[in-house]
Amino acid sequence: MPAEEWEAKQDRNRAREPRKKEGRIHTRKKNEGDDVSTQFERIITAFGIVAAIIIVAVVLFVFSRLTGIFRQGSNKPTTETVSMTTEDSTTVVDINTEDQINMPSVLGLPQDMAREKLKESSLVMEITGSEYSDNYTEGQVMGQDILAGTVVKKWSTVGVTISKGSDKVDLNALDLTQMTGEDARLLLEQKGLVVEVREENSDTAIKGNVIRFSPQVVKVGESVSLYVSKGSQNVEGRVPNLQGQTPTSADALLAGAGLLTGNVTVEASDTVEEGLIISQSELPGTILPPGTAVDYVVSGEPAQTQAADERYYIGSIDEACSLSNYIGPASQTSSVRVLIRLNQTNDEGASVYTTLMSPRLVVGAQTVPVVFPRIKGAYGVDSGMVEVVDADNLTVIKSYPVAFFPVG
């Protein structure tokens, strides 16, 4: 190869060499730019993820505050804690907020007061039952189904049990011996007792009245034996025992034995209740001729000495008043409370009433005895009316004229 051609070829090779180097440099620079762009995109993506997480966390926090989602399943109310410091200690008081409250105690409160207290605490009371109790009087709350101090929602319903009082009945406190057998039976049955009436003769209790009872103290649902007088044995002239009786009862006992009431005097007594008979002139059980008078002494303040010419006016009556037309199917009533009184008119024209028999309950078509052998009337009044009266409305059922005569 000629020298000129070889040199020309070398020159062409040298001319191509820079262009190759420039191409390699350009390719390397392009690759470095691509790496920088990829790293930047990764950084932007990471920041976006972090921002998204923060946004979701904020949304969840706001939502939980509005709905209370993080407080579900907990019985503890949101409270504000207040510290009260004294010289000896610090007391922490939790104040209920929002829709929950601490249950108050209503034990021992009357029913109405308990209901009002729960209402003030935004709670509703419901009576779920009643029971007998020796510790709580009748009408008091003896139990509540949510214990005091328990955290509950406002306007929750609180069930309470109301006391019916003690189921023990003290028969001695009922004065049964001052009642008729029928009145006593009705009273005991109203108190939830089973009554067994037994009759027996008695010289001390008027026929139909309670003599005694057994036992003395019982529980609701238990049985009571009630002993009712059949009157004294039918022995005419036999003196009954008048001690401890009222004059009205004594007069009726004497009349039932065919005897009369004699002189009645009043003496002070420290042992016998005022108005009851202290003693009598004839021993109980003595047989006297029919129509004999028996004197007795009544406890009380002796009357002042009266003028020699002052006299008592005495009357008597022996009748029987039938109530068959007053109570029964026709009148749509089965019982009536009856009293017997004396009605007299004094010198001024006013009615003067004297009670001869206190109100008593009569059941069914019965006959009420109107037997009073010795009725002391108003001084100077020689007439009067003995009236059988409906004690509830003071309607006169039957009246009987009675004449009075001065004695003494």
Nearest to 383 by CA among 351, 358, 359, 355: 351
Q: Is the pLDDT of residue 9 over 70?
A: no
Instruction: Assess whether pLDDT exceeds 50 at residue 90.
Output: no
What average pLDDT is seen over the chain?
A: 79
CATH topology for 234-304?
Answer: Trypsin Inhibitor V; Chain A (3.30.10)
Question: Is 60 exceeded by the pLDDT of residue 23?
Answer: no
340 or 24, greater pLDDT: 340
> For position 69, what pLDDT does the model report?
44
| Token pair for 37 | 């762009």
Fold exhibited by the domain 169-229: Trypsin Inhibitor V; Chain A (3.30.10)
Most confident of 78-92, 193-207, 348-362: 193-207
Residues 348-386 pLDDT 10s? 777 888 888 877 777 665 778 888 888 888 888 889 999
CA distance 322 to 320: 6
Among 12-21, 104-113, 138-147, name the one with the lowest average pLDDT: 12-21
Give me the percent of the chain exceeding a pLDDT of 70. 76
More confident call, 334 vs 253: 253
**Which runs of E-coded beta strand occur in 97-216?**
100-102, 124-131, 141-144, 151-153, 157-163, 168-170, 194-200, 210-214
Q: Tell me: pLDDT of 67 over 70.
A: no
Residue 52 has pLDDT above 60, yes or no: yes
Confidence category of residue 31, pLDDT binned at 50, 70, 90: low
* Spatial distance between the Cα atoms of 341 and 387, rounded to a whole number of angstroms: 5
pTM, entire model: 0.37
User: What fold is seen in the domain 97-163?
Assistant: Trypsin Inhibitor V; Chain A (3.30.10)
Q: What is the DSSP letter of 222?
A: -
d(CA 318, CA 369): 8
Distance, in Å, from the CA atom of 336 to the CA atom of 317, rounded to the nearest integer, reads: 23
Inform me whether the pLDDT recorded for 97 exceeds 60.
no
Domain residue ranges in the chain? 19-59, 97-163, 169-229, 234-304, 311-408
Query: What is the spatial distance between Cα 48 and Cα 54, in angstroms, rounded to a whole number?
Result: 10
Instruction: Please choose, from the candidates 340, 325, 334, the residue with its C-alpha nearest in 3D space to the C-alpha of residue 186.
Output: 334
Residue 22 has pLDDT above 60, yes or no: no
**Among candidate residues 222, 226, 179, 224, the one with its CA nearest the CA of residue 200:** 226
> Could you tell me the pLDDT band of residue 113, with boundaries at 50, 70 and 90?
very high
- What is the C-alpha separation between 291 and 76, in angstroms, rounded? 91
Q: What is the pLDDT of residue 304?
A: 47
Write out pLDDT tens, residues 222-273.
Answer: 999 999 988 766 567 888 888 888 888 888 888 878 888 888 888 888 888 8
Any idea which of 178-192, 210-224, 324-338 has the lowest mean pLDDT? 324-338
Residue linked to tokens 């309607």: 395
Q: Residue 215 phi/psi, 5° resolution?
A: -80, -175
For residues 139 and 133, what is the distance between their CA atoms, to the nearest angstrom?
A: 11
Residue 32, pLDDT above cutoff 60: no
Q: Mapping DSSP to helix (H, G, I), strand (E, B) and coil, where does residue 230 land?
A: coil
pLDDT, greater one: 225 or 95? 225
Q: Which amino acid is at 152?
A: V
By C-alpha distance, which of 265, 259, 316, 266 is closest to 293? 259
pLDDT band for position 401 (50/70/90)? very high
Contact 294, 282 (CB under 8 A): yes
CB-based contact 177:224 (threshold 8 Å)? no
Identical fold for domains 97-163 and 169-229, yes or no, is yes
**Quick check: 176 pLDDT over 50?**
yes
Residues 65-84 have a mean pLDDT of 48
pLDDT score for 76: 46
> Which pLDDT score is estimated for 11?
64
